[in-house]
Amino acid sequence: MRFHMTNGLISHVIQVLPNGDLNTLYFGSAIHDRMDFSDLQELDVRDTMQVDADHPGISLEQIRREYPQAGSSDLRPCALSVRNAAGSQAVKLAYETYRIVHGKVSLDGLPSTFANIATDNVEESGQADCETLEIDLVDASFGLKVTLSETMFRGLPVVARSVRIRNLSHLPQTVEAAYSASLDLPDADWDMITLTGAWARETHVERAPLRTGLQGVSSIRGHSSQHASPYIALARPNADEMQGESVAATLVYSGNFDASVFVDSYARTRLRIGINPETFSWRLAPGGTFRTPEAIIACSRTGLNGLSQTLHALYRRNLIRSPWNTRRSPIVVNTWEAVHMDMDEASLTAMARSAKDLGMEMLVVDDGWFGHRDRADSSLGDWFADRRKFPNGLKSLADAVHDMGMGFGLWFEPEMISEDSDLFHRHPDWVLGDPRLPLRSLGVQRCQYVLDMTRPEVVDYLLQAMGNAIGRIGVDYVKWDMNRSLSEAYSRALPPDRQGEVFHRHALGYYQLLHGLAARFPNLFIESCASGGARVDAGTLATAPQAWISDDTDALERVKIQYGTSMLYPVGACSNHVSAIPNEETGRRLSLKMCGDVALFGAFGYELDPTVLDEDERKRIRRQIAWAKWLGPLMRTGTFWRLRSPFDRRPGFDAADAAWMMVADDGRMAVVGWYRALTGVNAPVPWLRLAGLQDDVRYAVTEIDTTVADADDTAMAGRGFTPWRPRYGDELMRAGLPLTDRTTATWGRSPLPGDGFSRIFILTAIPTANTSL
């Protein structure tokens, strides 16, 4: 029995071996089908064990396996470990049957990709844009059935995988490891790329050659974390953004994860991604089942940009369920850096009025509106207005904001609780933690503790409290925060033999609350946040279509953060704000133009007090907002290209510059951003080669100052516009733009603009009737 799944862009070839094991013969960019792929097998036993006495020609340690189990003669890291009531791990799964599902089955309680019904093609109208292969593996003597599901999507080189595990025995079993996907590759000639960091410096790109042994990234913090994103990519050493072979795996999940690569002594590579087994176990009752989160695996032969563009397209088409997925995000002003917790109705009304005059569209009231919240040590869980600050309630403020023609947003941190809160006084047992430990001996961060989201009554309370506030006040936009990790993860609601389920059940409780609010308020805009980017993952993105990717709003730092985040997530889903100068996190003074030019590539907004701006700043911000509105639809639906990495310093330059661009689907319009952190005297001329354009189309190239030029000037002429000579697409992509003006200097030339310098270019196709050059 052999399977070859392909959609013309990606291929996966699986062979059933005589012992019933599944052998991965090929995974990668699409290949032609043929009757016999057996020459791709590696069955030599070498110096390893044979699988059993009846199959002397097969060694599990030498073959590329689809889903390796612990307790076998494959002594590499496993994807599945199950222990039965007798204490044995010796699972020997064998092929039983398969099914082909037209479309895709949803995962109960877990976010996942979905089948999109095609409507743009008459021949495909009413048909799902994906197909799923399900393979059942069984070990009858152990009493275990495992179903591997793999979905392939039309027009994209990507698959979605998940695993369902069922106890067929009459005694309980314990799942000790259950990865969502495992991928064996025949060689180790790869670089590993991961996204790592910390608070305020998320998603920094790290790249290193594979070495023998185990390597990768993981989290045991109870969330996907700022320290490591649930993402791992393998790229050929010669691969870069524009060319070369690569493969990437990520997880549609917000809890603890492991994304790792193992290279064996014969230079074979095993990639695994799934729930981190270090903090996980799951008790399977007789007849019980467990479903893993979904893994996404994409491949590319067109470099890392191709890999990212596949993931971006999949998320927009088959993952994000919010109606805001394709709408331009509202231009928000958030109150945090403007006032922190020092707020009242009068000051916020004045802020909204001033913001409306500038063209902003949404006032988001951040932390400090509820309970008796003056500092970080109180009131989490008490989701009702602080009557000292809002004697008329928050509805009075929301009504005033709505009357101005603006939307109204509100901050929540649902999964947390303060010791100084009404909720804690009523339910001290709702705190996550071992009850034998005094509260004050538990780990604490930002003066707060974690609610036990494994308990249905906790989720029900939050759904009711938040729902009542959202509905009564008239909230259009929720900023959903989470400012600490999980520790001492023990639930009083679970018996001792189920405490290994706490982290995963906590994630399921989070999804139940998130999905419940989205179902109750289908037009509610939800922006996820977790001290910045501590829970930016596909599991959250499925329901919350926008993420606050970092608390660091310094433009030079943001270039790196936004660059790394774009490896995985659509830029239109990334919330970027212009903040007050000097920057609150770094103290750096950058121009309003530089800050805006970076934030422009994403969901644009502000983190400042508009009432204290002078008239010149107000004029500049009005123009900036107009450009953000004009380009906003493109940021949601266009194709994003990374052109130059801020992590790669080139010879002759004092520091790395960065560049990226967004191109309309038809290739006839684009916007380019270029950023320089440090300016050097008499530096080389930077040449910027563009991407994604049409070779035979001539483009009008116009440099704009987004704080001076008027976005409603469709002729793109006048103050703030610098027209360049029209160029064909092939020249722009192969020769590039010479960025000589104001970026280099020698004797007798005008002074340089200084550090923190940006340039924005608009490209528009010239009608073919216009032949003048």
Residue 344 counted as an annotated binding residue: no
Place of tokens 């509610």: 524
Residue 152 in contact with residue 290, Cβ under 8 Å? no
Catalytic residue, chosen from 481, 537, 552, 657, is 481
Tally Cβ neighbours within 10 Å of residue 376. 16
SS3 state at 396? helix
Instruction: Match 């890392």 to its residue by tokens.
Output: 304
DSSP 604: E
Tell me if 483 is assigned to a ligand binding site. Answer: yes
Any binding-site annotation on 481? yes
Asked if residue 192 lies in contact with residue 205, where contact means CB atoms within 8 angstroms, the answer is no
How is residue 240 written in tokens?
């870069």
Helix axes 394-403, 345-358, angle to 10 degrees: 20
Residue 637's CB: how many other CB atoms inside 10 A? 16
Query: What's the N-to-C CA distance of the chain in angstroms?
Result: 62
**Separation between Cα atoms, residue 622 and residue 614, nearest integer Å:** 12
Please give the Cα distance from 46 to 75 (Å, whole number).
14
Nearest to 641 by CA among 669, 660, 617, 622: 660
**What's the gap between Cα 653 and its chain centre?**
32
Question: How many helices and strands, by DSSP H and E, does the chain display?
Answer: 12, 37
Using the structure block, give the residue that is written with the tokens 């500038």. Answer: 358
Task: Tell me, yes or no, if 420 is annotated catalytic.
Answer: no
Token duo for residue 195: 């996204």
- C-alpha 673/C-alpha 561 separation (Å) is 15
Which pair of structure tokens corresponds to residue 672?
Answer: 């380019």
Q: How are strands ordered across the β-sheet holding 669-676?
A: 639-644, 657-663, 669-676, 757-765, 698-704, 721-728
User: Are residues 304 and 567 in contact, defined by beta-carbon separation less than 8 angstroms?
Assistant: yes
Task: For residues 473 and 192, give the distance between their C-alpha atoms in angstroms, rounded to a whole number.
Answer: 48
Rg for the chain, CA atoms, rounded:
27
Kindly state the tokens that stand for 79: 């994807």
Structure tokens, 598: 């970076």
Residue type present at position 624: Q
Establish whether 479 is an annotated binding residue.
yes
Of 593, 597, 757, residue with least CA distance to 677: 757
- Check whether 529 is labelled as a binding-site residue: yes
The reply to whether 446 sits in an annotated binding site is yes
The annotation status of 482 as a binding-site residue, yes or no, is: yes
* Amino acid of residue 32: H
Burial class (CB in 10 A: 0-12, 13-18, 19+), 440: exposed
Q: Active-site residue 730, yes or no?
A: no
Q: Which one of the listed residues 551, 609, 657, 705 is annotated catalytic?
A: 551
Burial class (CB in 10 A: 0-12, 13-18, 19+), 40: middle
Q: Provide the token pair at 57.
A: 């020609």
In which region does residue 606 sit, left (phi positive, over 0), alpha (psi from -120 to 50) or beta (all else)? Answer: beta
How far is it, in rounded angstroms, from Cα 458 to Cα 429? 11
Distance CA 243, CA 306 (A): 8
Residue set of the binding site for substrate: 199, 366-367, 446, 479-483, 529, 551
Task: Tell me the catalytic residues.
Answer: 481, 551
Residue set of the binding site: 199, 366-367, 446, 479-483, 529, 551
